[in-house]
């Protein structure tokens, strides 16, 4: 891999991670959805770049799925859902932005410290991609914990999947099965999330998950 | 068509057909017929030729018995489900439209579990476990009550994160295998991984296993990742509680064990035992203590499932022929007995019109058949002789005592604490003056009691006398597990 090709791949990987951090401080639902859409678009570019430089055309399929489905279709669906259900557009974080960002930095450092020594025999690009991917995959759950809002939890889940696909395109010769299945799972998962929203909407006026917890099984009797 | 393809094809075909059948009575019977066909095909696996390893699917001594067990419990649950849903429709808790969805999802769920059990390809196994998660999450929310939606949401989020971590673990496994096996399918095929595991990079293998244990362990319900399990069991329809406890937890544990076998084949890799022992002990102790504070009858037995999966994980963590044997027997016995208990509890909550333990008393007086079935089931699951759970728990404790006496102590304490809680609740549920029945409740049809008695009879037979061929079979699998 030439110097420039490596630099671009590296840049795209880092951008995916940066966008994960950008997700952590969004207070508006629509902004969070846009950020995760942007992350999916960058991921698509990263997959396409790998397809070109490594001459593995099946990665174009992964890129196309990420771009069409995750960067365009799902965000549009989520925006529509928010309008349709009149969901309030601001989200109160459970804990402050500073703390969330601090935890995020800690998680990223841990991911790098775990992956880099582990993969000493692999190429530099793969090692860094894997470290970034693990960080992104762990920042997703952090976002889901930090915001008790069903839409943000979907966004966190999607960003987690973005991280996993970044890892999958970085690993050389990973069979297509896995990529296709990830894309498939996202499709199904989002569909189901959508179904859930409707049922939540039928019963509650807000999508605030903490209100659901008032109904916890042990207490409702 | 080979029996294996029939086992996988019938549920998928049935799911598609059932999605279009509006008459729920007909659908319930078709559900039973399809499950019976699946079970017959699964039984035929024992005499059929096995597929050559190295492809997408695999049949070996280990999974063939779990496939048969899964198909069997799926069949008995389908029989129970037919009378259960008839009652729910009468009480207007379920509509025919929802039932169409329910039957299609039931078959899809059984099919994806069987797929996960027979997969040789790690990617296929992952997809199948994910499909099983999605279909059950939908069924947990079937009643559309706030509590059911919350339970389904929690289940979905927690298991979604778990399954994503399992995928990362699968990728690391590929990365570890790639230098030895080259690029492509061979490096994600379990049987070829096993034969080359000794050459893998041990550090990568270790980290992969940790991710896989956390990922699939979430689905086993091992503490501290068990939070979804009680809610999902308590709020969904009872047939789903039975297959969740009796089958899905086993499938997830099976996935963990497959990866444990890979680690065991590499001498430099970390011993996976202590991790599983730790999580198993934590689950056992935590669940045993939690049993005392349960007020909902289905939640009570959900915690008991966490306890028993903890025991099985502990046994496999100990390893060695005897402990593995005990673990396998325990998985089987727990499936049979716990499914029988959920069948009974389903009928109990229907005739009493409530799931609150405080409102249910004197079952043996008001409904002798149900009451005594519950007594037998709880005695069996609490680990009293002469039922099979006693045999397996006794083997777990005694084999641990022989090797690590200090570890046997917390196991024995956990078992006793859980035992006390269950007997306390049983006394309240089964004896004393009977509580009022639900308005319009009628006698439970005998046909739907047959699955309960069949399961308990099998557990009883296993407790008194395990046939020699079965023992030889379990022993060969126990050696395979290392």
The answer to whether the CB of B172 falls within 8 A of the CB of B201 is no
Check if the beta carbon of residue B394 is closer than 8 Å to that of residue B466.
no
Under an 8 A CB cutoff, do A175 and B184 touch? yes
Query: Taking CB atoms and an 8 Å limit, are B207 and A114 in contact across chains?
Result: yes
Name the pLDDT band for A196 (thresholds 50, 70, 90).
low
pLDDT value of position B52: 78
> In angstroms, rounded to a whole number, what is the distance separating the alpha carbons of residues A205 and B197?
54
Is the CB of residue B51 less than 8 Å from the CB of residue B58? yes
Half-sphere exposure (Cβ direction) of A47: Cα atoms closer than 13 Å: 29
Mean pLDDT of A6-20: 91
Give ipTM to 2 decimals. 0.87
CA distance A181 to chain B (A): 6
CB B286 within 8 A of CB B375: no
DSSP state of A205: S
SS3 labels along chain B: CCHHHHHHHHHHHHHHHHCCCCCHHHHHHHHHHHHHHHHHHHHHCCCCCCCCCCCCECCCHHHHHHHHHHHHHHHHHHHHHHHHHHHHHHCCCCCHHHHHHHHHHHHHHHHHHHHHHHECEHHHHHHHHHHHHHHHHHHHCCCCCHHHHHHHHHHHHHHHHHHHHHHHHHHHHHHHHHHHHCCCHHHHEHHHHHHHHHHCCHHHHHHHHHHHHHHHHHHHCCCCCCCHHHHHHHHCCHHHHHHHHHHHHHHHHHHHHHHHHHHHCCCCCCCCHHHHHHHHHHHHHHHHHHHHHCCEHHHHHHHHHHHHHHHHHHHHHHCHHHHHHHHHHHHHHHHHHHHHHHHHHHHHHHHHCCCEHHHCCCHHHHCHHHHHHHHHHHHHHCCCCCCHHHHHHHHHHHHHHHHCHHHHHHHHHHHHHHHHHHHHHHHHHHCCCCCCCCCCCCCCCHHHCHHHHHHHHHHHHHHHCCCHHHHHHHHHHHHHHC
3-class DSSP assignment, residue A174: coil
Furthest CA-CA distance within chain B: 70
Q: Is the pLDDT of residue A205 over 70?
A: no
* Predicted confidence band of residue B303 (pLDDT cuts 50, 70, 90): very high
C-alpha dihedral (A150, A152, A156, A161), degrees to nearest 10:
70
Judged by DSSP in three states, A164 sits in helix
**How many Å lie between the alpha carbon of B109 and the closest alpha carbon of chain A?**
15
Chain A residues inside the 8 Å CB shell of B149? 196, 199-200, 203, 212
The alpha-carbon gap from A148 to the nearest alpha carbon of chain B, in Å, equals 12
Chain A residues with beta carbon closer than 8 angstroms to that of B175: 119, 122, 130, 171
Chain A neighbors of B188, CB-CB under 8 A: 175, 177-178
**Cis ω for the linkage preceding B224 (within 30 of 0):** yes
Residues 6+ apart with CB under 8 A from B157: A144, A153, A157
pLDDT in tens, B253-284: 999 999 999 998 888 888 888 999 999 999 99
Average pLDDT over residues B107-118: 95
* DSSP-derived secondary structure letter, A122: S
- Does the distance separating the beta carbons of B185 and A217 come in below 8 Å? no
pLDDT tens by residue, A35-77: 999 999 999 999 899 888 888 778 888 888 888 888 888 888 8
Closest-CA residue in chain A for B144? A199
What six digits make up the tokens of B70?
């899964």
Contacts of A171 in chain B (CB under 8 A): 171, 174-175, 178
Q: Look at residue B3 in the predicted model and tell me its pLDDT.
A: 86
pLDDT of B461 higher than 70: yes
Q: pLDDT tens for residues B203-242? A: 889 999 999 999 999 999 998 888 899 999 999 899 999 9
> Do the Cβ atoms of B146 and A215 come within 8 Å?
yes
Contact B265, B342 (CB under 8 A): no
Q: How many other C-beta atoms are found inside a 10 Å radius of the C-beta of residue B431?
A: 15
The count of CB pairs under 8 A between chains A and B is 124
Q: What is the spatial distance between Cα B376 and Cα B304, in angstroms, rounded to a whole number?
A: 16
Q: Give whole-number Cα distances, B31 to B16, B79, B117, B176, in Å.
A: 12, 8, 21, 43
Q: Report how far apart the first and last C-alpha atoms of chain B are (Å, whole number).
A: 34
Give the model's pLDDT for residue A188.
54
| Chain A residues lying within 8 Å of B296, measured CB to CB | 217-218, 221
**Cβ–Cβ gap A121/B201 under 8 Å:** yes
Contact yes or no for B209/B201 (Cβ under 8 A): no
Tell me the shortest Cα–Cα distance from A215 to chain B, in angstroms: 6
- What residues of A are in contact with residue B144 (Cβ under 8 Å)? 199, 202-203
Q: Do B299 and A217 touch (CB under 8 A)?
A: yes
pLDDT at B137 over 60: yes
What's the Cα-to-Cα distance from A63 to each of A59, A154, B355, rounded to whole Å?
Answer: 6, 21, 50
Beta bridge partners of A28: A90
Decide: B343 and B80 in contact? Cβ < 8 Å: yes
**Residues of B with CB below 8 A from A134's CB?**
168
Burial of B411 (0-12, 13-18, 19+ CB in 10 A): buried
- Is residue A194 predicted with pLDDT exceeding 60? no
Which pLDDT score is estimated for A215? 44
In the three-class reduction of DSSP (H, G, I as helix; E, B as strand; rest coil), residue A147 is classed as strand
Q: What is the pLDDT at residue A186?
A: 62
CB B102 within 8 A of CB B30: no
The pLDDT value recorded for residue B329 is: 93
A181 and B183: CB-CB below 8 Å? no
Whether this model's pTM surpasses 0.80:
yes
Cβ within 8 Å, pair A119-B175: yes
Q: What is the DSSP string of A41-91?
A: HHHHHHHHHHHHHTT-THHHHHHHHIIIIIIIIHHHHHHHHHHHHT--SB-
In B207-240, which positions are buried (b, 16+ CB within 10 angstroms) versus exposed (e)?
bbbbbbbbbbbbbbbbbebbebbbbbbbbbbbbb
Measured between beta carbons, which residues in chain A are less than 8 angstroms from residue B182? 173
Judge contact between A204 and A211, C-beta under 8 A. yes
Interface touch A171/B175, C-beta < 8 Å: yes
Which pLDDT band, with edges at 50, 70 and 90, does A198 fall under?
A: low
Residue A54 has a pLDDT of 81
Residue B253: which of B410, B451, B481, B474 has the closest Cα? B481
User: From the CA of B137, how many Å to the nearest CA of chain A?
Assistant: 9
Residue range A94-121: mean pLDDT, rounded: 88
Q: Residue for token digits 């970085």?
A: A170
B325-378 pLDDT per residue, tens: 999 999 999 999 999 999 999 999 888 888 899 889 888 888 888 999 999 999
Which pLDDT belongs to residue B413? 94
What residue of B is the nearest CA neighbor of A162?
Answer: B164
Q: What is the pLDDT of residue B346?
A: 93
- Predicted local confidence at residue A218, as pLDDT: 46
What is the token pair recorded at B277? 């022992």
pLDDT the model gives residue A204: 41
């Amino acid at each position: 891999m030439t110097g420039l090709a490596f630099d671009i791949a590296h840049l795209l990987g880092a951008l995916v991670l940066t966008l994960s951090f950008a997700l952590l401080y969004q207070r508006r639902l629509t902004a969070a959805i846009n950020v995760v859409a942007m992350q999916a678009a960058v991921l698509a570019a990263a997959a396409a770049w790998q397809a070109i430089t490594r001459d593995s055309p099946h990665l174009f399929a992964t890129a196309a799925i990420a771009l069409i489905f995750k960067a365009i279709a799902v965000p549009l669906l989520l925006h529509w859902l928010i309008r349709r259900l009149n969901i309030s557009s601001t989200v109160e974080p459970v804990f402050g932005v500073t703390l969330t960002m601090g935890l995020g930095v800690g998680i990223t450092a841990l991911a790098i410290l775990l992956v880099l020594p582990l993969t000493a025999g692999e190429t530099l690009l793969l090692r860094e991609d894997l470290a970034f991917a693990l960080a992104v995959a762990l920042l997703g759950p952090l976002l889901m914990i930090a915001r008790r809002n069903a839409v943000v939890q979907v966004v966190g889940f999607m960003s987690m999947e973005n991280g996993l696909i970044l890892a999958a395109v970085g690993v050389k010769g990973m069979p297509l099965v896995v990529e296709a299945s990830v894309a498939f799972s996202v499709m199904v998962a989002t569909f189901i999330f959508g179904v859930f929203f409707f049922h939540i909407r039928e019963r509650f006026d807000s999508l605030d998950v903490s209100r659901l917890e008032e109904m916890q099984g042990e207490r409702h009797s | 068509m080979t029996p294996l393809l029939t086992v996988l094809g019938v549920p998928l075909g049935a799911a598609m057909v059932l999605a279009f059948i509006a008459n729920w009575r007909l659908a319930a019977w078709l559900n039973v017929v399809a499950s019976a066909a699946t079970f017959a095909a699964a039984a035929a696996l024992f005499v059929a030729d096995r597929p050559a390893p190295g492809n997408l699917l695999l049949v070996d001594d280990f999974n063939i018995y779990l496939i048969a067990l899964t198909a069997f419990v799926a069949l008995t649950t389908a029989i129970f489900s037919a009378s259960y849903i008839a009652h729910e429709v009468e009480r207007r808790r379920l509509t025919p439209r929802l039932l169409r969805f329910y039957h299609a999802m039931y078959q899809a769920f059984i099919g994806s579990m069987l797929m996960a059990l027979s997969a040789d390809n790690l990617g296929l196994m992952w997809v199948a476990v994910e499909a099983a998660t999605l279909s059950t999450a939908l069924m947990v929310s079937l009643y559309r009550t706030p509590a059911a939606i919350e339970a389904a949401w929690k289940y979905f989020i927690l298991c979604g994160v778990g399954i994503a971590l399992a995928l990362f673990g699968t990728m690391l496994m590929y990365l570890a295998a790639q230098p030895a096996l080259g690029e492509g399918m061979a490096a994600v095929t379990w049987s070829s991984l096993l034969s080359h595991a000794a050459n893998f990079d041990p550090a990568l293998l270790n980290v992969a296993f940790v991710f896989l244990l956390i990922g699939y362990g979430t689905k086993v319900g091992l503490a501290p990742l068990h939070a979804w399990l009680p809610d999902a069991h308590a709020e969904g329809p009872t047939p789903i509680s039975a297959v969740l406890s009796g089958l899905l937890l086993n499938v997830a544990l099976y996935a963990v064990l497959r990866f444990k076998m890979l680690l065991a084949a590499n001498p430099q890799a970390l011993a996976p035992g202590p991790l599983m022992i730790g999580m198993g002990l934590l689950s056992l102790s935590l669940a045993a203590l939690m049993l005392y504070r349960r007020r909902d009858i289905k939640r009570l037995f959900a915690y008991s499932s966490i306890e028993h999966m903890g025991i099985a994980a502990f046994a496999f963590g100990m390893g060695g022929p005897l402990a593995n044997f005990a673990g396998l027997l325990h998985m089987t016995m727990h499936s049979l007995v716990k499914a029988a208990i959920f069948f009974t509890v389903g009928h109990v909550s229907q005739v009493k019109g409530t799931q609150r333990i405080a409102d249910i008393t004197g079952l043996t007086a008001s409904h002798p058949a149900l009451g005594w079935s519950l007594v037998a089931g709880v005695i069996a699951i609490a680990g009293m002789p002469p039922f099979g759970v006693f045999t397996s728990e006794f083997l777990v404790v005694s084999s641990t005592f022989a090797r690590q006496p200090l570890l046997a102590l917390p196991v024995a304490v956990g078992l006793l604490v859980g035992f006390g809680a269950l007997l306390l609740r049983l006394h309240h549920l089964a004896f004393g003056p009977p509580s009022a029945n639900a308005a319009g409740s009628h006698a439970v049809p005998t046909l739907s009691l047959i699955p309960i008695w069949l399961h308990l009879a099998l557990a009883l037979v296993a407790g008194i006398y395990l046939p020699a061929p079965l023992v030889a079979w379990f022993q060969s699998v126990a050696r395979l597990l290392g």
